[in-house]
């Protein structure tokens, strides 16, 4: 599983000019299930997302997790994180999980993160979404499990 994680002060996702998911201070997670992913990969990613210490403590050091600060998460499925750009100018996406597996693993990631104590809102798998965010820091981290 691949995730692009951003610490945000706010983020939202729209479809047809209607907000379908949003978060206040916390995380925006763009998530991609890979063809060889398993439920174990998803569980490991969920634990990493919840426990990664990227929020500042009182001394200004990044010693706190989203769980520690009482933050929330907006998790959006984005299969394009599987892009292979090594040949030519058109990305290939064959490393991404197929639509059925991808949707199942994305849903599992969202429910697992929520089960670990983080309020979660979501995008829509396969939807034409517009994402807005205010990146805090900026803090953007690439994760792969």
Taking the CA of residue 137 as centre, how many other CA atoms within 13 Å lie in the half-sphere pointing to its CB? 18
Total-model pTM? 0.96
Residues in the chain predicted with pLDDT less than 70, given as ranges, are: none
**Catalytic (active site) residue 55:** no
Q: What Å distances lie between residue 50 and 45, 53, 93, 109, 117, CA to CA?
A: 9, 9, 28, 11, 8
The residue annotated as part of the active site, out of 6, 23, 55, 79, is 79
Indicate the domain borders of the chain.
Answer: 2-144
Active-site residue, from 9, 80, 93, 130: 80
Q: State the pLDDT at residue 126.
A: 87
Q: Does domain 2-144 have CATH number 3.50.80.10?
A: yes
Q: Provide the pLDDT for residue 84.
A: 95
- pLDDT tens digits for 46-63? 999 999 999 999 999 999
């Amino acid at each position: 599983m691949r995730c692009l994680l951003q610490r945000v002060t706010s983020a939202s996702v729209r479809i047809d000019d209607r907000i379908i998911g949003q978060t206040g201070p916390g995380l925006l997670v763009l998530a991609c299930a890979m063809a060889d992913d398993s439920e174990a990969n998803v569980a490991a990613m969920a634990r990493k997302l919840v426990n990664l210490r990227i929020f500042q403590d009182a001394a200004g050091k990044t010693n706190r997790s989203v769980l520690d600060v009482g933050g929330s998460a907006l998790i959006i499925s984005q299969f394009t994180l599987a892009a292979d750009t090594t040949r030519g100018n058109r990305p290939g996406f064959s490393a991404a999980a197929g639509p059925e597996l991808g949707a199942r693993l994305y849903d599992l990631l969202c429910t697992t993160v929520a089960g670990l104590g983080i309020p979660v809102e979501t995008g829509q798998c396969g939807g034409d979404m517009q994402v807005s965010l205010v990146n805090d820091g900026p803090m953007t981290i690439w994760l792969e499990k």
